[in-house]
Structure 1
Amino acid sequence: MPLRLICLAMSLAVGVLAQAAPDWTEPFPPHHIAGNLYYVGSRGLASYLIATPQGNILINSSLESSVPLIRDSVEKLGFQFNDIKVLLISHAHWDHSAGSAQIKKLTGARYMVMDGDVEVVESGGKTDFQYGQTPSSLFPATTVDRVLHDGDVVKLGDTVLTAHLTPGHTKGCTTWTLKARENGKSYDVVIVGSPNVNPGYKLVNNMQYPQIASDYERTFRVLRSLPCDIFLGAHGSYYGMEAKLAKMKAGDRNAFVDPDGYKNYVSDRGQAFRAELQKQLQAANRKP
């Protein structure tokens, strides 16, 4: 293909990525979920604040441009932005981690990332198996303060989060679990990293990520094994955030308690993965 056409194709791809999700930058009302857990993200990109007497934990820094929005949401809830002591992510894609360098600088928070995603975070996305050559998906390289491994815990105050390696979407995609107490009850909270197969992902003969299919299989085994009362995720759309918040505002104090919704989501995403894998296997077998 002539260089001019290659450049044009890349420019179009970048434009599509940049315009794909306008709700990523659309403000959304920050709100209480359960216990010491709050939503502080945009309409399309989920960020969570976990408040403790010893400081707060933020999950997902989102885009570079998201940082003022996250800060505003934190402060609207009555918390101080510079009380964030720990910064975590669901996975090392630009829409969940691009704001990390700025948040570290503003708050001094310790940045903790699953081992499989550390290289991507510290390279600013350049070593990502799928998007490393896509300019629009790169972000400021950020130093990781603590490398996490599957099953590690993050403790602050009386809050304990467990990091579960759920790879495939990225090599270090992380699902977080914690307990939240609300109305005298203890709830198992699961914040899903991402079990989704993005457009363009090669599940078969992927030279940059040979074990991608088996990693996805591992992810679904892990997700099925986790007890879940309150189902959350890297995007609010995973768990029907807007509908659940509307129910809560209408008086349903248990609007976010949805164990069946979690099971259905994991089952649906597992079926989508297996269908895509089968499609790619059949295509590979047809090649001479």
Structure 2
Amino acid sequence: MRGCCDRPWEWAIRPFRVTPHVYYVSGNTWVGCYLFDTGDGLILLDTAMQPSLYMLLSSIDALGYHPKDIKTILLSHAHYDHCGGAKGMQELTGAKTYLGERDLEFMEHPELIYPDRYPYNRFNVDELYRDDKPIQQGRFTIHTLSTPGHTPGCTSFFFEDTDERTNRTYRCAMHGGVGLNTLADDYFITTGQPVTLRREYRESMIKCSRYQVDIAIGSHPNQTNMLEHLKKNSGCEYPQYDQDAWMKMIRFRLSQLTGIESESKLEF
């Protein structure tokens, strides 16, 4: 994150299509932001960092869209590299902003958001996710799933997207946060967050494993090898199509969690 904020030109990437109507628009290769063309305004999933906001706006412009058409901002969790640009995007768009309820605590404790030495402005949370209430806008119905672990309010997203030319529908998903850096002993000791988040992380991953996914989107592109797919499958219309990527990510992260648990000196 620091590298991307301090030397953004080293991390720059042009926007690219992920699903028939969803585009990668963060403008950098560190963290993902996604623009949904719903046919009834736009949805933005995550906002990256405040210092990289210009890269996000440039990507949106390069695709021929306008920020003022963004009606909804979905935040996967309250860490700086996902919500650092939220205030700026709210001011530009007036969009309704969603966050997981258990991450509201982070709003009162910015140190948990990790702004580090970078500018951070508190943003407004207009709506809280509910697993039993999908977000509907235009052609999209986005089902959210509370997946605590990386943060208590971490939220994952599941939706279908249809290519009207072929009438083929793709099952798509983004896990809200699979990083295990916040499940290490040092993190719990320093922040006072409950070590039970490890158990919740495992339970969340098991829930996610029950979904069949055609296109796995990464909250960070490396989590589902998005850039490798983009290069390897450059001749394909949807390079991210890989029915194994979702489960590979889940299995890998669960194996990492087992390693952390085996070395931990903390008890639930």
Normalised TM-score (structure 2): 0.88
Deviations 1:38-89 (A, max 9, x none): 1101111100000122210000111001221111101101111110110011
**Distance between the aligned counterparts of 1:140 and 1:274, measured in 2?**
36
Alignment of 1:1-288 (within 5 A): 18-19=2-3, 26-41=11-26, 42-120=28-106, 122-123=107-108, 125-126=110-111, 128=112, 135-136=116-117, 139-182=120-163, 183-198=166-181, 201-202=184-185, 207-249=192-234, 251-280=235-264, 283-284=265-266
Contact 1:244-1:256 within 8 A present in 2 as well = yes
Distance 1:67 1:205, change over 3 A: closer
The runs of 5 or more residues in structure 1 that have no matched partner are 1-16
Describe the SS at the equivalent of 2:263.
helix
Question: 5+ residue gaps in structure 2?
Answer: none
Alpha-carbon distance between aligned partners in 1 of 2:105 and 2:116, rounded to the nearest angstrom: 17
Q: How far does residue 199 in structure 1 lie from its aligned partner after superposition?
A: 6.3
Equivalent AA in structure 1 for residue 40 of structure 2? Q
Cα 1:23–1:37 shift into 2, 3 Å: farther
**Counterpart contact for 1:115–1:147, Cα < 8 Å:** yes
The code of the aligned residue for 1:184 comes to N
Distance in 2 between the 1:18 and 1:70 partners? Answer: 17
Quick one: structure 1 residues 22 and 199, their matched pair in 2 at CA, closer, same or farther if it must change by over 3 Å? farther
Q: Percent identity?
A: 23
Rounded Cα–Cα distance in structure 2 between residues aligned with 1:27 and 1:278 = 38
Contact kept, 8 Å, 2:51 with 2:118, in 1: the verdict is: no
**Structure 1, residues 183-218: CA drift from partner, whole Å, max 9, x if none?**
321111011112221067339976432421221122
Residues 240 and 35 of structure 1, relative CA distance in 2, 3 Å threshold: same
TM-score, normalised via structure 1 length: 0.82
Is the 8 Å Cα contact of residues 123 and 141 (structure 1) preserved in structure 2?
no
Larger RCO, structure (CA 8 Å, separation 6 or more): 2
Structure 1 residue 161: deviation in Å?
0.7
Number of residues of Structure 1 aligned to a counterpart in Structure 2 = 261
**CA apart distance, 1:158:** 2.1
Cα distance, 1:200–1:169 mapped onto 2, change above 3 Å: closer
Residues in 2 aligned to 1:200 and 1:24: alpha-carbon distance in whole angstroms: 28
Q: 1:248 to 1:94 in 2, by over 3 A?
A: same
Output the amino acid matched with 1:185.
Answer: R
User: 43-52 or 196-205: which moved more?
Assistant: 196-205
Q: In the aligned structure 1, how far is the partner of 2:80 from the partner of 2:13?
A: 20
